[in-house]
């Protein structure tokens, strides 16, 4: 859906001096496309993964004079812009979820298809790992994580098995967890919906990285950073992310006026105009080319007026 992201952002990035923020740099594919498509634009790119920053830096070396790469989580966007002396930007892009690099490097522990240490930290220099969560959280808290972040209906059954097993030996690797989940689930559940460990791994990853808490702060901050006429595009990969993005963008596009006013005063007018009807989905061709694109949901909005300050 890269082409569609570029099309959404294009009207605000054509002018010389336009600044676009890639909040999820990863390996730099989107950033490279932004820099090559909009030769007058400057890029600020954020990532919490130092290895991603290093590799993306090599990829973006030809554009070094127009690109600033920053080690930061995307909810730190206001601080990053303040440090760089950039009061407003013309475009913001989020490509949420796990980067291909993180999925493909077995030792990171994101993928349930191969045995690896249960780490799952996007920034491996800080925070607790997925193994820490599995081995130390009280059962009730583990059930909450699996239900809230994995939408796992069998959370209680899985957690009971985890608690039994961790008393014998702490969890350290993914294969043991995958096997435990397979054994814990009823046959009927295992027959549908792909790998039965998928939802548990998603839940652990979100918990380890505080993904939804970060996103809840980051999207409103990104909207606030947009100049009038600036645009935001967000690619989500599961319903929890998409619902959160939808809520923020829809709220910005609604009038905040009390009901019944014959004329809506300026301070109650919407700040945003939605650029997508609902969430746009990838085409069949895109999914055929990259199956990881299948769950993607794209939403976009344009800043149409400043926030009212009383």
Binding site residue list for S-adenosyl-L-methionine: 28-30, 47, 74, 95, 102
**In 163-222, beta strands by DSSP E:** none
φ, ψ for residue 137 (rounded to 5)? -70, 140
> Distance of alpha carbon 2 from its chain centroid, rounded?
15
Kind of pairing, strands 297-303 and 272-274?
antiparallel
The answer for residues whose C-beta is within 8 angstroms of residue 309's C-beta and 6 or more apart is: none
> Distance of alpha carbon 270 from its chain centroid, rounded?
25
As a three-state string, the secondary structure of 56-74 is HHHHCHHHHHHEEEEECCH
Annotated binding site: 28-30, 47, 74, 95, 102
DSSP class of 40? T
CA distance 280 to 299: 7
Contact 6, 31 (CB under 8 A): no
Strands ordered across the beta sheet of 226-236: 67-71, 42-47, 19-22, 89-95, 226-236, 297-303, 272-274
Helix (H, G, I), strand (E, B) or coil at 38: coil
Radius of gyration of the chain (CA): 21
Nearest-CA neighbor of 201 among 230, 233, 169, 173? 173
CA atoms within 13 A on the CB side of 142: 23
Cα torsion 66, 13, 28, 129 to 10°: value is: 110
The answer for residues whose C-beta is within 8 angstroms of residue 262's C-beta and 6 or more apart is: none
């Amino acid at each position: 859906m890269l082409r569609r992201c570029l099309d959404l952002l294009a009207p605000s990035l054509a002018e010389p001096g336009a600044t676009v923020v890639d909040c999820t740099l990863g390996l730099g594919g989107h950033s490279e496309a932004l820099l090559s498509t909009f030769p007058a634009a400057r890029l600020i790119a954020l990532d919490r993964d130092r290895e991603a920053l290093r590799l993306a830096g090599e990829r973006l070396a030809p554009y070094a004079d127009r690109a600033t790469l920053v080690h930061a989580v995307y909810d730190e966007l206001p601080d990053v812009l303040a440090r760089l002396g950039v009061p407003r930007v013309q475009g913001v892009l989020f490509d949420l979820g796990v980067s291909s690099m993180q999925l493909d490097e077995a030792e990171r522990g994101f993928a349930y298809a191969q045995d690896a240490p249960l780490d799952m930290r996007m920034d491996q220099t800080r925070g607790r790992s997925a193994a820490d969560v599995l081995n130390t959280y009280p059962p009730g808290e583990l059930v909450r994580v699996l239900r809230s972040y994995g939408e796992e209906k069998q959370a209680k059954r899985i957690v009971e098995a985890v608690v039994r097993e961790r008393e014998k030996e702490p969890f350290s690797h993914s294969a043991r967890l995958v096997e435990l989940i397979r054994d814990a689930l009823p046959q009927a559940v295992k027959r549908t919906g792909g790998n039965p460990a998928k939802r548990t791994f998603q839940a652990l990853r979100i918990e380890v990285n505080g993904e939804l808490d970060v996103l809840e702060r980051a999207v409103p901050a990104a909207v606030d950073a947009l100049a009038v006429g600036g645009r935001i595009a967000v690619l989500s990969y599961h319903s929890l992310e998409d619902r959160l993005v939808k809520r923020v963008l829809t709220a910005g596009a609604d009038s905040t006026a009390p009901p019944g006013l014959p004329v809506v005063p300026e301070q109650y007018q919407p700040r945003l105009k939605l650029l997508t009807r609902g969430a746009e989905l990838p085409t069949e061709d895109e999914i055929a080319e990259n199956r990881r694109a299948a769950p993607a949901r794209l939403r976009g909005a344009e800043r149409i007026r400043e926030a009212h300050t009383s």
